[in-house]
Amino acid sequence: MTILSISRPKTLATTVTACLATLALFQTGNALAQQEILHQSVVHWGDESYTLQKIVEGDMTYPRFLDNRGNQITAENYQAIVEKHSNPFGAIHPDLYRMMQENPAARFQVVVQLNIEEQQVLDKPDDLNKTNKALVVAELEQQAIAFSRKLDFQKIQILQKLDVDKLWNDSEFFGTPFARLSLSADQILKLANNNQVNGLYVYDSKGIDDIANALKIANADDLQSAGIKGNGEKVGVFECRPNLLSNASWSLNVDEVNSGSSNPCSSSHSRHVHGIISNTGSGGGFAPKAKLYSSNGKALSQFDWLVDDKRVSALNQSFHRGAEINDGMSFDDIYKDYKVLHYPWPTIVHAAGNWCPAGSSCYELPTINDEFVNHKGYNTISVGNHNDNASAMSSSSIFKNPTTAHNDRELPEISANGTSVTTVGLTFSGTSMSSPAVTGSVALLQNAVTTLRHWPEGIRALLFAGAHTNIKSHPGIPGSSATHSWWDDVSAGNDGFDGSGALDVYQSQQISKNRWNGVPLSRGWDIGSIHDSKVKNGYFTEEYEVKVPWSLLQKVPVKVALAWNSTATLNGGTYSSSLDIDLDIHIYNASGHLVAYSVSWDNSYEIAEFMANRNQTYTVKIRRFSGAGDFSWFGIAWNSRPFIFTFPVFSNQLTIQR
């Protein structure tokens, strides 16, 4: 037996994953011959530790669980262990339970997730360039409205049966299985024991702004020079409105401010965030011709205004709720995961968060190692902050990963420059500035390929595959080093604090020029859905071929990124968005040998990188490790970059990277 990679042990896991079904299929209790362990992690449940393994044996891959004495345990036994520890308060989210304990006589603003199974999945347009865009969008609008009305009717019926319809605030969460109620502790406990209720969460409308050469380092200026400026793309900014929209030297391209906001607010922070995305004057934004929509508030009703009323295709959030610095997913995470799965399928980008030292106005926790990445959704993007030349992360950029069942979740997913960013007459630092850089880049990609307006999975894959610069150090972590690829770091236990790397939207856009059409490509991408009819012998039936171009160098770096979704319709772990499908990347050479892979457990994305032989073709296969019977959209992208070398030119160094 060969152990190819080992990941770090962490703390108590809090979610249940779908791999148990796969384990039940393949586990025999007998010793297995000629097997390789692609990935191994140690999980602590209570006082016991368990070893979780992803094993490959011939064409078959499967999980195996061992107790701390090395004995193999059955799927049923492990399921019981997980259920015992995963939901300590049943359907009640820990934050809500804590508030009930602290003030049992109070009434609480609560979001209830109802047990409504959605039967309808709208078909996404997978190539708007080949269709009548206006007609397709009009039909989708009609279908989405009909779907929402049907779901709201079911919601009303359930609330009436629960005898809480009179406590319902019906001004938000339209067309979703969520409802906001004003409840006492006794009412919460009663609902928690009803099988019509999947979860109960704290409703929080307050937010804390995340403050602590962006265009050039992300190569967005190259796209602007080519005329790609986000022309007409609808971008939402979820926070206060800007305190100033223009002056003599700059202007924000804000199409509309939410005038119906229930709790309007304005700030210079918002002005700066808007400016990074779409300033049309000096110190210009990433997507200066995009249409901005300002939510004018931080409540989820303002978020819904952006998504449901304005139908934005890209959305930025540069603030966090007070409880989001802690472990575990918040209701906001779960709700936004849900919204990504529904029309108009927006791409949602968050600031990962900033740590502030004691004595500062933004201080929350004693050390940077105490604060978790603020936004932990599976279907969204969290962004870290690197310096001007992408050589190091900012010392305040949050990196701590949430606790998950297999201890290998990796956040943030990507990094961008957010250090001393100057625009619209202001200079700020923080992940608040990194996040809109990525959001503006999303608008550029959607401008280049309109189909991507409805495919956040494709956007994520393109961004991750294009982020070729690995940021090796984090000043906030003494002795830190993430010197290897994303998968090498994840599997070896090094925190990948930069995510997939530094944003390079030029590389992402170059990849987006080459949609997969069955012909080997040096750069390429694809989008689609994965379900039982498209899986044979555990592999997605579509295989992708990477044609590595000729190069002066013998070896050429290749990066492959895959992104898919969690489900947030039913509880797969009562207060967690459920990652039902576990997909892996396997890459084979022409001789059929496995040369690279990425096989984490708890991420909704995989990134495989390797040094390929020039002028050779490699096959990329998507392995469905678990999730039979489940459905997900996905995006995949790859990039090979043959010209990466440095040579002297008139005593100076010239570096070519394309």
Tell me if the bond preceding 344 is cis, omega within 30° of 0: yes
116 and 194 in a common domain: yes
Residues constituting the chain: 658
pTM for this one?
0.90
Is the pLDDT confidence value at 561 over 60?
Answer: yes
**Cα four-point dihedral sign 481, 482, 488, 490:** positive
Identify which has the larger pLDDT, 293 or 629: 293
Would you state the structure tokens that stand for residue 587, as one six-digit string? 């890459």
268 and 389 in a common domain: yes
Q: How far apart are CA 387 and CA 417, in angstroms?
A: 6
Residue 16 lies in a domain: no
155 and 43 in a common domain: no
- Degrees (nearest 5) of the Cα angle 354, 385, 300? 60
Q: For 123, which DSSP code?
A: P
Yes or no: say if 100 and 185 are a contact pair by the CB < 8 Å rule: yes
Nearest residue to 19 (alpha-carbon basis) of 461, 377, 538: 538
pLDDT in tens, 372-397: 999 999 999 999 999 999 999 999 99
Is the pLDDT confidence value at 24 over 60?
Answer: no
Residue 247 lies in a domain: yes
Residue 322 lies in a domain: yes
Residue 556 lies in a domain: yes
What's the total number of domains in the chain?
4
pLDDT grade for 90, boundaries at 50, 70 and 90: confident
Nearest residue to 504 (alpha-carbon basis) of 608, 431, 388, 416: 416
- Tell me what the pLDDT averaged over the chain comes to: 87
Please state, as a whole number, how many other Cβ atoms lie within 10 Å of the Cβ of residue 604: 26
Is the pLDDT confidence value at 18 over 50?
Answer: no
Nearest residue to 100 (alpha-carbon basis) of 179, 198, 196, 200: 200
632 and 583 in a common domain: yes
pLDDT in tens, 469-512: 999 888 877 766 666 789 998 888 788 899 999 999 999 999 99
> Which strand (E) or helix (H) includes residue 110?
strand 107-114
Nearest residue to 472 (alpha-carbon basis) of 459, 488, 456: 488
Please state, as a whole number, how many other Cβ atoms lie within 10 Å of the Cβ of residue 28: 7
416 and 319 in a common domain: yes
**Averaging pLDDT over each range in 18-32, 119-133, 636-650, which range is the top one?**
119-133
Domain stops at, among 152, 174, 202: 202
408-431 average pLDDT score: 95
198 and 338 in a common domain: no
604 and 499 in a common domain: no
519 and 504 in a common domain: no
Distances (CA, A) of 215 to 277, 377, 388, 420, 505: 10, 27, 10, 13, 10
504 and 519 in a common domain: no
Residue 26 lies in a domain: no
Q: What is the pLDDT of residue 213?
A: 65
The CATH number given to whatever domain includes residue 534 is 2.60.120.380
Bridge partners of 54, per DSSP, are 39, 63
Is the pLDDT confidence value at 457 over 80?
Answer: yes
Q: How far apart are CA 177 and CA 511, in angstroms?
A: 37
Identify which has the larger pLDDT, 90 or 338: 338
What are residue 508's phi and psi, to 5 degrees? -60, -40
Is the pLDDT confidence value at 573 over 80?
Answer: no
Q: What is the pLDDT of residue 574?
A: 43
**Averaging pLDDT over each range in 133-147, 279-293, 435-449, which range is the top one?**
435-449
Is the pLDDT confidence value at 649 over 90?
Answer: no
Reduced to 3 states, what is the DSSP secondary structure of residue 433? helix
Would you state the structure tokens that stand for residue 298, as one six-digit string? 């931080």
Nearest residue to 394 (alpha-carbon basis) of 445, 356, 339, 345: 356
Domain stops at, among 20, 52, 85: 85
Is the pLDDT confidence value at 101 over 50?
Answer: yes
Domain stops at, among 85, 103, 125: 85
Residue 445 lies in a domain: yes
Cα Rg of the chain (Å, integer):
24
Q: What is the pLDDT of residue 571?
A: 45
545 and 445 in a common domain: no
Yes or no: say if 644 and 553 are a contact pair by the CB < 8 Å rule: yes
Residue 30 lies in a domain: no
Placement of tokens 């918040």 in the chain = 330
Is the pLDDT confidence value at 652 over 60?
Answer: no
Residue-number span of the structural domain to which 59 is assigned = 36-85
Angle between helices 431-448 and 505-512 (to 10 degrees): 20
526 and 470 in a common domain: no
- List, as one string, the DSSP characters of 262-275: SS--EEHHHHHHHH
Q: Provide the percentage of residues in the chain whose pLDDT is more than 70.
A: 89
pLDDT grade for 211, boundaries at 50, 70 and 90: low
Residue 536 lies in a domain: yes
302 and 437 in a common domain: yes
Is the pLDDT confidence value at 12 over 60?
Answer: no
